[in-house]
Amino acid sequence: MKYTYTEKKDTRSGFGAGLAELADKNPNVVALCADLIGSLKMEKFIEKAPERFFQVGIAEANMMGIAAGLTINGKIPFTGTFANFSTSRVYDQIRQSIAYSNKNVKICASHAGLTLGEDGATHQVLEDIGMMKMLPGMTVINTCDYNQTKAATLAIADFEGPVYLRFGRPVVPVFIPEDMPFEIGKGILLQEGTDVTIVATGHLVWESLVAAEELEKEGISCEVINIHTIKPLDEEIILKSVEKTGKIVTAEEHNYLGGLGESVAGMLARKRPTKQEFVAVNDTFGESATPAELMKKYKIDSTAVKEAVKRILEK
């Protein structure tokens, strides 16, 4: 099928909608926030279940400790703050209090990547996927649009174990069907092709579909796979595709070190060595500008995906 969109929404609003639904659906779900209720779109949850909401303030490390403690009596805590503050600021607490004892905490992280935009490099975390996927037992999810973020939020409530759910600030195309099931650890084949495999995550999924459509006009057939779960990685869907195409491009809004691309490269090195190109930020911090300007400058837009496909076909 061809994926199109009729509206644009921010993925963080998908999280807010899913969390609000969980307020009615699951009485064990509790929410914690570090003074960013509006940014995380948690207002509806608070309206529905004020007794299950905890405003921790600008004390993210304390929030992780409280969340870990809440799991002991069977609660399912969802923590909410920016991706930068959800990871690097509290990495020790996550490792020691959550991951080490496999606590059932859902670490929900908004404003990830360069598309945070004007807030600049100090807030544009580009290393969080690498940090979180290295923690034993941590599931890492990076969603691509509003519908998928809402579905993921609902799915992780039923999943036992710590989860890092990453999403963003800008409005982006909504193209995943509202009723598409969200299966943790299972990639989605969005478009079949024969010349090259494009494996994308997060905001780069739509950019990859745009690139594939433009390349099709030039006679280049791209297979596009949405990898929303970076850990555990769906090895089967990737291996099946590269058996056909023999070439792969990975695309992500993250440093090329430690992200989806490295996970795919490591897996392929062990199981089926394959020519690979990376569309990712080239080991640098960001800067302040609009999301579109940053994606263009740091080569993580549809044009960059097209260029990577052409490079690998020339090899």
User: Are residues 170 and 196 located together in one domain of the fold?
Assistant: no
pLDDT tens across 170-184, in order?
Answer: 999 999 999 999 999
Same domain, 170 and 192: no
DSSP H or E stretch at residue 213: helix 204-216
- pLDDT tens digits for 69-91? 999 999 999 999 999 999 999 99
- In this structure, the answer to whether residues 211 and 77 fall within a common structural domain is no
Please confirm, yes or no, whether 60 is among the known catalytic residues: yes
What are phi and psi for residue 181, nearest 5 degrees?
-65, 145
Query: Are 52 and 23 in contact, with CB atoms under 8 Å apart?
Result: yes
Question: Taking a C-beta distance cutoff of 8 angstroms, is the pair 174, 5 a contact?
Answer: yes
User: Is residue 136 assigned to a domain?
Assistant: yes
Distance CA 305, CA 148 (A): 22
The domain that contains 148 carries what CATH number? 3.40.50.970
Under 8 Å between Cβ of 214 and 207 = no
DSSP 3-state of 33: strand
Pair 170, 193 in one domain: no
Partners of 135 in the beta sheet?
Answer: none
Task: Name the packing angle between helices 260-271 and 235-245 (round to 10°).
Answer: 70
| Confidence grade of residue 2 (pLDDT, cut at 50, 70, 90) | confident
> The domain spanning residue 217 has which CATH number?
3.40.50.920
Token readout for 259 is 């992200």
Strand order in the sheet with 139-142: 53-55, 29-33, 76-82, 106-110, 163-166, 139-142, 229-231
d(CA 74, CA 77): 9
Same domain flag for 168 and 237 = no
d(CA 166, CA 175): 18
Task: Check whether residue 203 and residue 168 sit in a common domain.
Answer: no
Mean per-residue pLDDT, 99-118: 97
Select from 125, 150, 174 the last residue of a domain: 174
Domain range for residue 203? Answer: 188-314
Q: If pLDDT is split at 50, 70 and 90, which confidence band does 272 have?
A: very high
Catalytic pick from 60, 127, 207, 223? 60
pLDDT at 1: 56
Q: 282: exposed, middle or buried (C-beta count within 10 Å: 0-12, 13-18, 19+)?
A: exposed
Identify whether residues 34 and 169 lie together within a single domain. yes
- Let me know whether 14 and 82 are in one domain: yes
- Same domain for 197 and 255? yes
Question: Is the Cα dihedral 301, 275, 222, 130 positive or negative?
Answer: negative
142 and 77 both lie in a single domain: yes
* pTM tops 0.75, yes or no: yes
